[in-house]
Amino acid sequence: MDLEKQLQQFKQWVKEAKRIVVLSGAGMSTESGIPDFRSTEGVWTRNQSREELMSLSFLERYPDEFWPIYKDIFQLKLQGNYVPNQGHYALKKLEDLGKQVTIVTQNVDGLHQVAGSTHVYEVHGTLQQAFCPACQATYDIGFINNHDLPMCTKPLSSSASNSDQLGELCQTILHPGVVLFEDQVRYLHESVEATTAADLFLVLGSSLQVGPINQLAMIAQSVPSIKKVILNREATMLDHCFDLVIHNEIGAVLGQAI
């Protein structure tokens, strides 16, 4: 099927769908200029693997090393420079058309929310926050960027009169809001529930290599009533799960189909 016929079919399915589940991956963010962290240069000259450096155990054992590497990989200082692209705004338009849209995103940049989407499951967490594992206080990206080794500044007691004195603050080293290796993804149950209830399951910019969230493609395949579309620049190992496979740019295709 040529691209024009694919677009016609896709456009028809979008028009007919009432409940749409979108699984978005790194390809969605790269169209906003955000590099896939797996391709980040520099820190990978070290002997450790990506999985080791971005693991919960590495953070807990070597926090002084972890935080600079984390900031470098995810370019935290640059996050405010990135803006949603045509694809993000197309998904918001679906909501404006009255459709129930659930976005399950592997991305951690928060651009779906910036574009105005209201029902987003960030299964790999978010760059926009860090949290204290001791008291659960949360901190924004500005706080993270302003501290080489971010620590919790909340008072240990209800009395704040001496909270600025050493020992009166929590001072626990923060954990990033991003899900690390050895940690569990978030919203898996909710994502599965939404997928099985969908009319249209749409994958945007994901290679479908990262589990367990890539299992949504196989779950959708098991429900014949769901129309299944993948839009990715390159072929994936799960393309066979989809009724329609489009290898093209996300923003351009969604702009024509919605």
Respond yes or no: is residue 124 known to be catalytic. Answer: yes
Judged against a pLDDT cut of 80, whether residue 206 lies above it is answered with: yes
Give the pLDDT confidence score for residue 242 in this predicted structure.
98
Do 130 and 213 lie in one domain? The reply is no
Give the count of domains, the chain: 2
Angle between helices 250-257 and 86-96 (to 10 degrees): 30
Do 166 and 206 lie in one domain? The reply is no
Do 92 and 193 lie in one domain? The reply is yes
Binding-site residue positions for Zn(2+): 132, 135, 152, 170
38: pLDDT confidence band, cut at 50, 70 and 90? Answer: low
pLDDT, tens digit, 9 for 90 and up, residues 233-250: 999 999 999 999 999 999
| Mean pLDDT for all residues in the chain | 90
Give the structural domain span for 223.
1-33+84-124+184-258
To the nearest whole percent, how much of the chain has pLDDT over 90?
77
160: pLDDT confidence band, cut at 50, 70 and 90? Answer: very low
Judged against a pLDDT cut of 70, whether residue 163 lies above it is answered with: no
Do 109 and 221 lie in one domain? The reply is yes
Do 129 and 108 lie in one domain? The reply is no
Give the pLDDT confidence score for residue 37 in this predicted structure.
63
Q: What number is the average pLDDT over the span 212-221?
A: 97
Question: Torsion angle, CA of 104/35/66/210, rounded to 10 degrees?
Answer: 40
To the nearest whole percent, how much of the chain has pLDDT over 70?
91
pLDDT, tens digit, 9 for 90 and up, residues 65-107: 999 999 988 887 777 789 999 999 999 999 999 999 999 999 9
Q: What number is the average pLDDT over the span 103-115?
A: 96
In one letter, which amino acid is 13? W
Do 167 and 243 lie in one domain? The reply is no
Judged against a pLDDT cut of 60, whether residue 141 lies above it is answered with: yes
Give the span between the Cα atoms of 10 and 182, in whole angstroms.
38
Which burial class, exposed, middle or buried, applies to 36 when counting CB atoms under 10 A from its CB (0-12, 13-18, 19+)? middle
Binding-site residue positions: 132, 135, 152, 170
Do 161 and 88 lie in one domain? The reply is no
Give the pLDDT confidence score for residue 162 in this predicted structure.
47
Give the pLDDT confidence score for residue 47 in this predicted structure.
52
Catalytic member of 124, 175, 240, 247: 124
Do 10 and 106 lie in one domain? The reply is yes
178, 199, 220: which is the final residue of a domain?
178
10 versus 38: which is more confidently predicted?
Answer: 10
- Please give the sequence-ordered ranges of beta strands (E in DSSP) within the chain, or none if there are none: 19-24, 100-105, 120-122, 125-131, 138-140, 175-178, 200-204, 227-231, 244-246
Least confident of 21-25, 80-84, 120-124: 80-84
Judged against a pLDDT cut of 70, whether residue 142 lies above it is answered with: yes
Give the pLDDT confidence score for residue 44 in this predicted structure.
43
Do 107 and 216 lie in one domain? The reply is yes
**pTM score:** 0.90
